[in-house]
Structure formats: structure tokens, C-alpha cells
Amino acid sequence: MTYLKAYLAKVGLGTSVQMGCRFLNGRKVYLGDRNVLNFGCLFDGRHYQIQTGSDVSIGPEATILTLGHDPQSSEFGDKGGDVIIGDRVWIAYRAIILPGVRIGEGAVVGAGSVVTKDVEPYTIVAGSPARFVKKRSPDLHYTLNYQPWLL
């Protein structure tokens, strides 16, 4: 964790990063307090920022992208934007978050979903592209406390 604290722009108190996570330009990745990043996640901070709030759970092999290409560009030009993730967001297994997306507080992104647009607070989305499933209760009181050995 000492290496990550030196490499990433910010690692909040109580944040845990499991093995196999990759960071492309960690200087643009800001992790809030008590985040849990499960194994195999990819954080693309090549040109734009990734910011997470507190108590964010990101499932195994999830991908957060900030940069891609404009398919309409005759020069194959870059296209991207910051990704902002609010407090108590849960991003499930193998979800993909595309550049320029904001995920509101308390939102849930279903497993395997591809998020192409902003997600409203306390909303559950799923699918490819991710679509509204239902609202999540805003009555959330938990704080994440990752315990790797689950005693």
C-alpha cells in the first residue's frame, strides 16, 4: 500500500486495493476513504481524472475508462473526460464505466454493465448499455471495513 500511496494522487483512509489492479497514470486517480477495489480492476487515468467518494465498492475486474477515440474523427482523435463516482456507490463484477460519466451517490451498477451516461443518485442500473432498473433506498448508513481474511 505504501507504493500506491506514492503512485496515486490520493488514497483515502481505510481504502483497500486487492492484487492485480492496474492504474494507467495513477497521478490522476483520487480514491476516497474506505474504498474497496477488488482484484483485477483497471483505472485509466491517462489524461483525465478518476475520483471516488467514500465507502465505494468496486467489484472484481471492473474497468473505469477516461479516454478513448472519437469514431467520427477522420484523424482517429482522442475523446474522453473525468469519471466522478459518489459516496456509497457499488460497481459490480466486470462493469465498464466509459469516459466522462458521473455516478451519483448511493447508485449501483450491475455486473457486466456498460455505463455510457451519467447515473442519478440512488439508482440501480444494469445492462449494455446500462439502463434504469429501479431506485435504491437513500437510507444508507454503512461504512466499508474490508477484512481480507473474513474471520
The total domain count for the chain is 1
Query: What is d(CA 61, CA 22) in angstroms, rounded to the nearest whole number?
Result: 10
Domain assignment present for residue 57? The answer is: yes
* Structural domain that includes position 100: 2-68+75-135
- 4 sits in which H/E element: helix 2-7
Task: Tell me what the mean pLDDT of segment 42-52 comes to.
Answer: 96
Question: 100: domain CATH number?
Answer: 2.160.10.10
Domain assignment present for residue 129? The answer is: yes
Contact between 83 and 51 (Cβ < 8 Å)? yes
| pLDDT confidence band for 3 (50 / 70 / 90) | confident
Domain assignment present for residue 10? The answer is: yes
Query: What is d(CA 34, CA 36) in angstroms, rounded to the nearest whole number?
Result: 7
Is residue 21 over pLDDT 60?
yes
Domain assignment present for residue 116? The answer is: yes
Domain assignment present for residue 146? The answer is: no
Domain assignment present for residue 148? The answer is: no
Q: Show which residues are catalytic.
A: 69
Domain assignment present for residue 145? The answer is: no
Return the closest-CA partner of residue 14 out of 149, 146, 151, 150.
146
Q: What is the pTM of this model?
A: 0.94
Taking only the tens place, the pLDDT of each residue in 81-118 is 999 999 999 999 999 999 999 999 999 999 999 999 99
Please, what is the average pLDDT of the chain? 95
Query: What are the phi and psi torsion angles at 29 (to 5°)?
Result: -110, 120
Query: What is d(CA 52, CA 32) in angstroms, rounded to the nearest whole number?
Result: 5
